[in-house]
């Protein structure tokens, strides 16, 4: 069953094919009104369930629009309104949903929920973010980098801040797409050692450098994310802010990277916290291209899962 659960568990060749197909599908639409159907309708007669146990703007809207452009239909479900939120097991939910829909996308907390959904569903399951990873985002990010700067292989990406779920998927992508990644942030928020080791085994140079100015030297891409993720306890907010403040991406930090370095953020951003307005709205920022490319990348991911 071709689920899309994570970047490191998806075939490298398939990942490349998805990026290339996403770019081709984007070009084929070339400024068409958003509701215009794609010339090809690969999801015609397909029903897709989009389950959210956490808030979302981009994931929710981009999946919904993507399915509709490809001729399919969606239903958006909030976890708390399903029996899932009232004790029905994930396995039973997966079995039941598989009788109604052709594809399930789920955004949840624990990775085990995603895994159980995939194990018991008889239709493909897509990871729309867990506490541990966010693979759809990084597919869009790889696509965005390559649109602006050509192949990402061999490039240097610098992750600034919290070694969180988005950082984990960036590490997976480093191994699979062949780029290097430097993490700069406080030791207490280091990325998962297992994922660092995996990317290194795959041949990527993964460095951990505490000094942000030194870390971004030679960077082709600088990336930031929120200092407090949806699954983080608000009681740790102040501690996290204090630890992460030195890693804010601002003009002074961007000046240490390559002159043509790009800036990315998966959004939502907390302006003037992890990134300044000047960088977010500056010439190196491609944050809204990233957001747009969620749509195109996920359309290719869904086609991969459904084999259409
Ligand atoms: N980047 C991202 O996944 O955004 P949403 O939380 O709005 O879906
Ligand atoms: N790290 C963030 C990403 C949001 C898209 C979170 O998990 O809240």
* Bond from prior residue into 45 cis (ω within 30 degrees of 0): no
pLDDT in tens, 5-39: 999 999 999 999 999 999 999 999 988 999 999 99
State the pLDDT at residue 85.
Answer: 78
Segment 159-177 mean pLDDT = 98
pLDDT in tens, 89-115: 999 999 999 999 999 999 999 999 999
Segment 250-257 mean pLDDT = 98
Mutate which of 57, 225, 231, 293 for ligand 1? The one with the most ligand atoms within 8 Å of its CB, which is 57
pLDDT in tens, 37-92: 999 999 999 999 999 999 999 999 999 999 999 999 999 999 888 998 788 999 99
CA-nearest residue for atom 6, ligand 1, is 56
Give Cα 77 distance to the centre of its chain: 20
Task: Give the nearest ligand 1 atom to 62 CA.
Answer: 8
Burial state string for 260-281 with b = 16 or more CB within 10 A and e = fewer than 16: ebbbbbbbebeeebbbbeebbe
User: Is 107 marked active-site?
Assistant: yes
Closest residue by Cα to residue 262 from 171, 144, 160, 167: 144
State the pLDDT at residue 86.
Answer: 86
pLDDT in tens, 190-234: 999 999 999 999 999 999 999 999 999 999 999 999 999 999 999
Among 3, 46, 58, 107, the active-site one is 107
**Integer CA distances (angstroms), 12 to 122, 134, 136, 172, in order:** 24, 17, 15, 11
| pTM (2 d.p.) | 0.98
Other C-beta atoms lying within 10 Å of the C-beta of residue 21: 17
Locate all alpha helices (DSSP H) within the chain, ordered by sequence.
12-29, 58-69, 90-100, 111-120, 135-149, 165-177, 193-201, 212-215, 237-244, 251-254, 277-280, 287-306
Residue 95 Cα to ligand 1 middle (Å): 27
Q: Which ligand is nearest to the CA of 229?
A: 2
Q: Answer yes or no: is the C-beta of 57 below 6 A from any ligand 1 atom.
A: yes
User: Is 6 marked active-site?
Assistant: no
């Amino acid at each position: 069953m071709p689920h899309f659960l994570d970047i490191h568990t998806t075939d490298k060749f398939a990942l490349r094919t998805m990026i290339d197909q996403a770019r081709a599908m984007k070009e084929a639409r070339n400024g068409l009104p958003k509701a215009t159907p794609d010339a090809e309708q690969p999801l015609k007669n397909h029903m897709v369930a989009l389950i959210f146990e956490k808030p979302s703007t981009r994931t929710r809207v981009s999946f919904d629009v993507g399915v509709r452009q490809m001729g399919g239909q969606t239903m958006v479900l909030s976890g708390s309104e399903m029996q899932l939120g009232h004790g029905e097991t994930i396995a039973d939910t997966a079995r039941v949903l598989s009788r109604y829909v052709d594809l399930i996308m789920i955004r949840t907390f624990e990775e085990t929920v995603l895994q159980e959904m995939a194990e018991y569903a008889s239709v493909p399951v897509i990871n729309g973010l867990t506490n541990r990873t966010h693979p759809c985002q990084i597919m869009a990010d790889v696509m965005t980098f390559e649109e602006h700067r050509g192949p990402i292989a061999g490039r240097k990406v610098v992750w600034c801040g919290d070694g969180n779920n988005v950082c984990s998927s960036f590490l997976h992508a480093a191994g699979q797409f062949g780029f290097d990644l430097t993490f700069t942030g406080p030791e207490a928020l280091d990325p998962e050692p297992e994922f660092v080791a995996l990317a290194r085994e795959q041949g990527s140079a993964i460095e951990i450098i505490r000094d942000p100015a030194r870390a971004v030297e030679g960077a082709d891409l600088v990336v930031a994310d929120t200092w407090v993720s949806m699954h983080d306890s608000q009681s740790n907010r102040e501690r996290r802010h204090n630890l992460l403040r030195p890693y804010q991406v601002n003009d002074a930090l961007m000046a240490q990277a390559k002159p043509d370095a790009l800036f990315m953020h998966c959004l939502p951003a907390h302006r003037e916290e992890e990134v300044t307005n000047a960088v977010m709205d500056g010439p190196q920022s491609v944050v809204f291209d990233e957001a747009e490319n969620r749509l195109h990348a996920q359309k290719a991911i869904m086609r991969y899962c459904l084999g259409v």
